[in-house]
Amino acid sequence: MKKVLESFDLADFSFVSFQHLNIFDVRSKARIPQNAKTAIAIIFPYYNKSAFCGNVSAYCAVADYHIVVMEQLKSIICALQQKYPQNSFVPFVDSSPVDEVDMAVKCGLGVKGQNSLLITEKWGSFVFIGEIITDLETDTVLCDYTYCMGCGLCGKKCPGSAIEQVAADGGTAADRYRINCENCASFISQKKQELTQQQTRILKNAATVFGCDICQKVCPHNVRLFGAAMGTASDDVAAEQEAEAVKPNLFSYDIFNTVTMENVTGVYKARPFGFRGLKVLERNLAIYNTDND
């Protein structure tokens, strides 16, 4: 299997035994192949300077990862299926029954941040995660859980104080922080129901029309790779280092970083923020455009 994966220009991948995954009880669970043995975890870097220069978060400014990653996973599966015609291979990304950050940490692709995200050595946290679940057995790894440097900046700078400590430091709990979704601007920006006053304030303070990158932008693991300004001209990171850090990247084209009342109707369906519908975007835009008083 490894050879087939290596024939694709993937940033990084690893194999973990299916039995070690955290599986959510969601509808997509029914797609897991019978007798699943292995998860092939793959990361897809998406850092792109111009993705940070608008009013949506970087993952929204690049092409829809649900589509791009799924296409790549399907091409890999085509190649695997030719070599292993008797086996089943099922792709997942995001709307997956697998706790993807947990999976990626367990198979050594990076560390887990207090912001709950996967942080990789070369691409920071600006990576999407996808996986192929198969009934084929192969050599797998199971790494000890490893964590970020724990500076606490993500929690301090979060506009909704959404990064909550749920267990004391040094304990044996696998995870000590969790995201309180109701106070997270990323979640709020997707919410279809009416926002509370506090949620409106959090979204306004996050200064975004969709998604939120604050807990990633302040993270020293990302600053080390991309510079403190992350995407603006004042970045002092050597261009060469940055170019290296963002390769290979399926998301270096089709950047759409600024949503306005005028352009929103034409584009929203084809972007990662389209799935919540136009009304949500218009509401968020209205909040974004409100004058501070």
Residues near ligand SF4 (CB under 6 A): 113-115, 148-154, 158-160, 162-163, 179, 184-186, 206, 212, 214-215, 218-221
Judged by beta carbon, residue 50 or residue 84, the one nearer ligand B12 is 50
Question: In residues, how long is the chain?
Answer: 293
Q: Which does 159 bind (CB under 5 to 8 A by kind): ligand SF4, ligand B12, none?
A: ligand SF4
Smallest gap from Cβ 46 to ligand SF4, in A, equals: 16
Q: Which does 218 bind (CB under 5 to 8 A by kind): ligand SF4, ligand B12, none?
A: ligand SF4
Judged by beta carbon, residue 85 or residue 170, the one nearer ligand B12 is 170
Instruction: Please check whether residue 20 is in contact with residue 83, taking contact to mean a CB–CB distance below 8 angstroms.
Output: no
Judged by beta carbon, residue 38 or residue 120, the one nearer ligand SF4 is 120
Smallest gap from Cβ 73 to ligand SF4, in A, equals: 25
Active-site annotation holder among 94, 99, 175, 235: 94
Q: Is 64 a catalytic residue?
A: no
Smallest gap from Cβ 124 to ligand B12, in A, equals: 8
Judged by beta carbon, residue 45 or residue 110, the one nearer ligand SF4 is 110
Q: Which does 214 bind (CB under 5 to 8 A by kind): ligand SF4, ligand B12, none?
A: ligand SF4
Smallest gap from Cβ 270 to ligand SF4, in A, equals: 23
Q: Catalytic amino acids?
A: 94
